[in-house]
């Protein structure tokens, strides 16, 4: 990427031109996934660590790497900090990257991240030299604690994973954005390009989208639509939105025109 | 021969190191790049791929092979 890019996003020692990060789950095939990745313009995509099933697994890494993206392994499936730290170490050895999306969610019904275990795991992973990107509750206090622990960004949820419900946590996200000194990546629950644009207008540094693209009628077109929305939302946020008002505010001075007719 | 637990299944092996076992099971092939995307754990501890040849197998070791899959 262009080093002079004023709009680049820095997360730890990494830099990204695209502010749309993508998940790779739930796509109907590797081909569709890779085409969507290309259409999204993303530079960072998530993958997960699992026990190998021999003879039946689809190698997604080689086609993904051909698209030129950087891989962000996650610790999904971990229920406690210890498991997340183990998963992170496996991922670092497998992919030769210190990037880790920390996810600790013990409850399969809502997949909400455990704040206590997430913080404990973040502290340990920072100590072990990882660039930690924690998926977390949209809790402003927790986000500050994760930042103090040395995380490279925070990734508060908009709504539970895969629900497509949009910015359910909007009010808390506003406080997080107001307080944060590390990048804020809004993750999970973003269901439409308009949700992504709204998050970026509010000042989010990036969004991570998976389900909304993967399960769309046409995932490749949807990936392009998200790319446009993220760019538009980011530009709008930087430009500074006008103030909202209860009463109408005329865009031209009608008084002079009326006065002229009465002459 | 010793008995190890390999990806959840009991396996008898004459291999002495972890690297030999991974060759025996076809995980490690001649191309060193074949290990990209794979990680190895023994008894819930990650064994770096650079040290697979130094790890001496012991009776009842639980060996697990991990790969990367699609995810969000």
Pairing of strands A9-11, A14-16: antiparallel
With CB atoms and an 8 Å threshold, state whether A60 touches B69: yes
Express each pLDDT in A1-49 by its tens digit. 455 577 899 999 999 999 999 999 999 999 999 999 999 999 999 999 9
User: Using CA of residue A137, residue A138, residue A139, residue A142, what is the dihedral sign?
Assistant: positive
At B46, which helix (H) or strand (E)?
A: strand B45-46
For residue A13, tell me if it sits in a domain.
yes
CA-CA distance, B1 to A27, in Å (whole number)?
A: 44
Is A16 a domain residue? yes
Domain boundaries, chain B: 2-67
Give the active site residue among A13, A38, A101, A243.
A101
Q: Hey, of A37, A49, A62, which one would you mutate to test binding to chain B, going by the most B CBs within 10 A of its CB?
A: A49
* CATH class of the region B2-67: alpha beta
| Domain hosting residue A111, numbered range | 9-261
pLDDT in tens, A181-207: 999 999 999 999 999 999 999 999 999
**Counted domains in chain A:** 1
What are A117-170's pLDDT values in tens digits? 999 999 999 999 999 999 999 999 999 999 999 999 999 999 999 999 999 999
Give the residue among A207, A185, A182, A177 at the shortest CA–CA distance from A195. Answer: A207
* pLDDT recorded at residue A257: 62
* Portion of chain A with pLDDT greater than 70, in percent: 93
State the CATH number of the domain containing residue A20. Answer: 3.20.20.70
A101 is catalytic: yes
Mutation for A interface: B7, B45, B48, B70, most A CBs within 10 A: B70
- Other Cβ atoms less than 10 A from the Cβ of A198: the count is 23
Helix (H) / strand (E) element for B70: namely strand B62-70
Low-confidence ranges of chain B (pLDDT < 70): 30-34
Residue A118 located in a structural domain: yes
- Tell me the pLDDT tens digit for each residue of A44-58: 999 999 988 765 556
> Quick check: is A2 in a domain?
no
| A3 occurs within a structural domain | no
A202 close to A237: Cβ distance less than 8 angstroms: yes
Q: Which two tokens stand for residue A210?
A: 């998976």
Residue A116 lies in a domain: yes
- Backbone angle region of A203, left / alpha / beta, with phi > 0 → left and psi within -120 to 50 → alpha: left
pLDDT digits (tens, 9 = 90+) for A216-261: 999 999 999 999 999 999 999 999 999 989 999 888 876 666 666 6
Position A4 in a domain: no
């Amino acid at each position: 990427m262009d080093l002079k890019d004023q709009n680049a996003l820095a997360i730890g020692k990494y830099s990204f031109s695209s502010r749309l990060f993508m998940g790779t789950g739930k796509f109907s095939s590797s081909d569709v996934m890779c085409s969507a990745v290309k259409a999204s313009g993303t530079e960072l995509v998530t993958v997960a660590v699992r026990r190998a099933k021999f003879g039946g697994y689809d190698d997604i890494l080689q086609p993904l790497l051909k698209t030129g993206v950087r891989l962000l392994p996650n610790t999904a499936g971990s229920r406690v900090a210890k498991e997340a730290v183990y998963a992170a170490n496996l991922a670092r050895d497998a992919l030769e990257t210190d990037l880790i999306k920390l996810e600790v969610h013990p409850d399969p019904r809502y997949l909400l991240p455990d704040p206590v275990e997430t913080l404990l795991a973040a502290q340990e992973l920072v100590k072990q030299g990882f660039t930690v990107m924690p998926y977390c509750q949209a809790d402003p206090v927790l986000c500050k604690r994760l930042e103090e622990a040395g995380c490279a960004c925070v990734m508060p949820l908009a709504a539970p994973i895969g629900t497509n419900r949009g910015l359910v946590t909007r009010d808390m996200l506003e406080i997080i954005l107001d307080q944060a000194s590390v990048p804020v990546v809004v993750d999970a629950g973003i269901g439409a390009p308009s949700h992504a644009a709204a998050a970026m207008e509010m000042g989010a540094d990036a969004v991570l989208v998976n389900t909304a693209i993967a399960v769309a009628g046409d995932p490749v077109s949807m990936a392009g639509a998200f790319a446009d929305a993220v760019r538009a939302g980011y530009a709008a946020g930087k430009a500074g939105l006008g103030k909202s008002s209860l009463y109408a505010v005329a865009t031209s001075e009608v008084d002079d025109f009326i006065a002229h007719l009465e002459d | 021969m010793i008995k190890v637990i390999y990806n959840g299944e009991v396996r008898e092996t004459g291999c002495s190191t972890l690297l030999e076992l991974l060759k025996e099971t076809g995980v490690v092939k001649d191309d060193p790049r074949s290990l990209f995307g794979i990680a190895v754990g023994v008894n819930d501890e990650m064994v770096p791929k650079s040290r697979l040849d130094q790890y001496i197998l012991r009776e009842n070791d639980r060996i697990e092979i991990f790969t990367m899959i699609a995810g969000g």
